[in-house]
Amino acid sequence: MSADSQARAQSRPQLAASRAKLAAQQSALMEALTRQTPLTGFDPERLQATAISLQQKRLRTVEHAHPCIASQLGPAFTELFNAYSKGHPLPAAGPSTDAWQFIAYLAQSDVLPDHMWRRYLLTSGWQSYRTWWQLLRRLRRRAVNHCSSSAASRTASKNTC
């Protein structure tokens, strides 16, 4: 065995250890950026600015993947997405998966816009009994509200004639 190959064989454990250390540092940095928490050894202001920038980019990609969500939720979209993203890391599968997970989060929070329920149930929400109960409760509320408003309008029309 040559001296060069012996030196490489001896440096392999050091290389593996340095790679593991680098991976742990990168993981801690990504965790700090996605959770917007401080990290020692970094300028807090720059870390915060980068975290906000990444958050806004993630919000735009979800908005681009499903624009109807943002239009239906209006100003609440940003607040709801920020709450979702703090508890859910960015999925490796990409923005479309992130958007569907956000829709699932809205369904579990009972904030999903009415027209999105059918699409959600047809794609993934049917697997959860809780989701079906939420849908039934929502439909019942809508029917009760519709009936009570119809009864009020009939009463008002009888009084005016």
Q: What is the pLDDT of residues 48-88, one digit of tens each?
A: 888 889 889 999 999 988 888 888 888 899 999 999 988 88
Give the tens place of pLDDT for each residue, 107-124: 888 787 776 766 666 565
Residues 6+ apart with CB under 8 A from 45: none
The predicted pLDDT at position 60 comes to 93
Give the tens place of pLDDT for each residue, 143-158: 666 555 554 554 444 4
What are 85's two structure tokens? 């993203």
The predicted pLDDT at position 119 comes to 65
What are 81's two structure tokens? 């997405």
> Over 70: is that where the pLDDT of 90 sits?
yes
> Over 50: is that where the pLDDT of 159 sits?
no
> Over 90: is that where the pLDDT of 25 sits?
no
Average pLDDT, the chain: 76
**Better-scored residue on pLDDT, 67 or 10:** 67
